Amino acid sequence: MKAKSHLSRRHFLKRCAALSLGSSSALATLSRLQLAHAQTSASGDYRALVCVFLFGGNDSLNMLIPREQNHYDEYANSRQNLAIARESLLPISASSQAFSEFGLHPKLGGLQALYNQNKLAFVANTGSLIEPVTKASYQAKTVPLPPQLFSHNDQQKFIQSLQRSANGSGWIGRAADVMAELNANPRLSMNISLSGSNIWQSGASVIPYSVSPSGVETLTNLNRSSNQTRDVQRRAIFEKLLTQNHQHKLIQAYNSKQKLAWELSQEVSDELELAPAITTEFPENNRLAEALNMTAQVIAAREPLSMTRQTFFIGMGDFDTHGDQLYRQPLLMEELNNALVAFYQTLVELGLSDKVTLFTASDFGRTLTSNGDGTDHAWGSHQLVMGDAVKGGDIYGTMPSLAINSDDDIGEGRIIPTLSMDQYASTLGKWFGLDTSAYAEVFPNLVNFNESDIGFMV
């Protein structure tokens, strides 16, 4: 397939002129878009964030494990029948921790290699926090806490929104509201979801544009490229319905959104078809890999789509391993490992491994203790960050004690986070290009913590 050339000025102006606006507003919009295009062309600095959300609460205590003998024994005593044998762990070292010997889950061989190549890092014991919490302040109830700490729904909302009262606004959605003009194309959202609607990418004016892992979803029998008589007639009727004048503002708004979505489905589909073909092979029967493959295809079409900043949201699950964990988690780890390795190799193929950063998030961590066949809902959790812009080969933050009833354990093996999601997010936001003047709006709890940059990004 022939690769499409960079976006030319003529191509850009043609796209702007095609916007379905009145003549006066079209000229005004065209002027603003030319200015935005000039700014982004001057910087030539494409960046993308890819969030892989591990729905259900990943048991990260069996993903990243201490190998130093005394600390491993502490881990094994707490985990009992769920402990992974020390000799099965994939060894890594970390210079920033109190001890250096760690190991990864046996199914994470590809991620071990990326870590050792300094392309991947771990962020230790992060989670939902309003303010720093100690065991004493938690027990005395003297510190504000996120709502319903151990509830899937509530914690998914908080991790994505950083707000105690979720109002439908996510932290990257608020960032996109501020940064939207960096993209010369105002029609296509900065935020692309491969997993439907989500809070993380929703802002006051920016909403995510959904693409399925198999491609852009289009309306049946309304393909704009078809020349069949019946298809042409259907399109004419549908467009007439969408362009009718209505006194009801809600109907007008709905028609406007529907028309834009219809037009975008064709526009994005065309550019995906013309984008450079990806030769990296993705694993089969792997839903995360399928979504990351499509993510890479959209990224490959960034220039003709006039995108300088993009975010992608992909949900993966189910990590709610209350039962049968020793069977279920290895399958999840293998799926995660194989998909992420293929995605990184694709970024290298595209020459964008330093321009795209992938990171994980999850509802919460899971208990140190076993319930007999699995683990239950807990709090702090380890996350991973991948890409050439990551200061890889290290573990950031502080690894908690894995002893039952330690100062890190609020009870029942639930670990208190020592890094907030606001700190994790603001470190990513800084690299993404978010100005510090917007931090208070985007990361509402950040003011309560000493560090806004944990240091894992270049």
- 337-360: per-residue pLDDT in tens? 999 999 999 999 999 999 999 999
For residue 349, being part of any structural domain is answered with: yes
- Residue 411 exposed, middle or buried by CB count within 10 Å (0-12, 13-18, 19+): exposed
Does 96 map to a domain?
yes
Give the CATH number of the domain where residue 178 resides.
3.40.720
Token readout for 95 is: 């210079």
Determine, yes or no, domain membership for 364.
Answer: yes
Q: Are 125 and 415 in contact (CB under 8 A)?
A: yes
223 to each of 230, 298, 447, how far by Cα in Å? 11, 20, 50
Q: Tell me whether residue 127 is in a domain.
A: yes
Element (H, E) at 43: helix 23-43
How many percent of the chain have pLDDT more than 90?
78
Domain that holds residue 294: 35-216+281-448
Task: Give the residue, 414 or 20, on which the prediction is more confident.
Answer: 414
Q: How far apart are CA 411 and CA 279, in angstroms?
A: 50
**Residue 281 or 251, more confident:** 281
pLDDT band for 245, please (50, 70, 90 cuts).
Answer: confident
Task: Establish if 60 belongs to a structural domain.
Answer: yes
Cis? peptide before 409, omega within 30° of 0: no
Report the Cα 213 to chain-centroid distance in Å. Answer: 15
For the stretch 287-304, pLDDT in tens is 999 999 999 999 999 999
Q: At 27, is the secondary structure helix, strand, or coil?
A: helix
CA distance 272 to 393: 34
Distance CA 91, CA 368 (A): 21
Query: Residue 38: pLDDT above 60?
Result: no
Average pLDDT over residues 174-184: 97
Query: Is the predicted pLDDT of residue 42 greater than 80, yes or no?
Result: no
* Residue 227 confidence class, pLDDT cut points 50, 70, 90: confident
Average of per-residue pLDDT across 6-26: 35
Instruction: Work out how many domains the chain is built from and give that number.
Output: 1
**What per-residue confidence (pLDDT) applies to 39?**
41
> Considering the domain boundaries, does residue 301 fall inside one?
yes
Is residue 219 predicted with pLDDT exceeding 60?
yes
Terminal CA-CA length for the chain: 35
pLDDT, residue 250, reads 81
> For residue 34, what pLDDT is reported?
41
The answer to whether residue 6 scores a pLDDT higher than 90 is no
Residue-wise pLDDT for 70-107, tens only, equals: 999 999 999 999 999 999 999 999 999 999 999 999 99
Mean pLDDT of the chain: 89
- AA identity, residue 181: E
pLDDT tier at 233 (50, 70, 90 boundaries)?
Answer: confident
Q: Is residue 11 part of a domain?
A: no
The pLDDT value recorded for residue 440 is: 97
Strands 381-386, 356-362: pairing kind: antiparallel
Identity of the amino acid at 316: M
Q: What is the pLDDT of residues 56-65, one digit of tens each?
A: 999 999 999 9
Evaluate whether residue 30 is within a structural domain.
no
Evaluate if residue 153 carries a pLDDT over 50: yes
The answer on pLDDT for 441 being more than 70 is yes
Of the candidates 429, 444, 400, 433, the residue with the CA atom closest to the CA atom of residue 66: 400
DSSP 344-384: HHHHHHHT-TTTEEEEEEES--B-SS--SSS--B-S-EEEE
